[in-house]
Amino acid sequence: MAKPLGYSRQQIWLHWGIAVLILFQIVFGESMAEAWDAFTETGATQMTLLVWGHIIAGVAVLLFALWRLYLRAARGVPAPIAGQPRLQVVAGEAVHWIFYAIMIGAPLTGMAAWYGGVLQAGEVHGTVKPVIVALLAVHVLAALYHQVIKKDGLLLRMWRAQG
């Protein structure tokens, strides 16, 4: 299958929509952690607005990520920007795939803990925040490096749809 020239409008909306939802999870995740502590200590379930928000945003990330994977398979993604060292291309792709693992693994471990009462899944889920923050730092710095230093228009690829 020939690679498309750029990302489609749907792929771009899904990318930024998921980014906003994940940011919400990072900023307000503490409320879910508090509700989880209360549940494991007393068995009481506190369904506050932020707890509902965490569950709905998390499940949305899972569904949107699956949709994105479908689009990757059905339509494809553009080839890496030409002229980059091989290692840089591999590192960029590795970060993208680890992000996919998180977009799917985080909601699944969260649900296994919350709905299935699997304590170990809760422990794994509780470590997701620093991993996302570190990956995001690398991802954003790489995008800015391309945009500001290399001036190869990488950021625009995730902004303007192309066939």
Site residues, ligand HEM (CB under 6 A): 11, 15, 18-19, 22, 25-26, 29-30, 32-33, 36, 54-55, 58-59, 61, 68, 72, 77, 80, 92, 96, 99-100, 103, 106-107, 110-111, 113-114, 122, 125-126, 128-129, 136, 139-140, 143, 154-155, 157-158
Q: How far is the CB of 53 from ligand HEM (least distance, A)?
A: 10
Whose structure tokens read 């939802």?
21
Distances 58 to 20, 108, 130 between C-alpha atoms, Å: 11, 9, 17
Whose structure tokens read 């693994």?
105
Phi-psi region of 117 (alpha: psi -120 to 50; beta: other; left: phi over 0): left
Q: How far is the CB of 27 from ligand HEM (least distance, A)?
A: 9
Buried/exposed 29-44: b ≥16 CB within 10 Å, e otherwise: bebbeebbeebeeeee
Q: How far is the CB of 85 from ligand HEM (least distance, A)?
A: 14
Q: How far is the CB of 151 from ligand HEM (least distance, A)?
A: 14
Please, which residue, 91 or 158, has the CB nearer to ligand HEM? 158
- Dig out the tokens for 52 from the structure: 């509902």
- Asked whether the beta carbons of 158 and 7 are under 8 A apart, the reply is yes
Please, which residue, 46 or 129, has the CB nearer to ligand HEM? 129
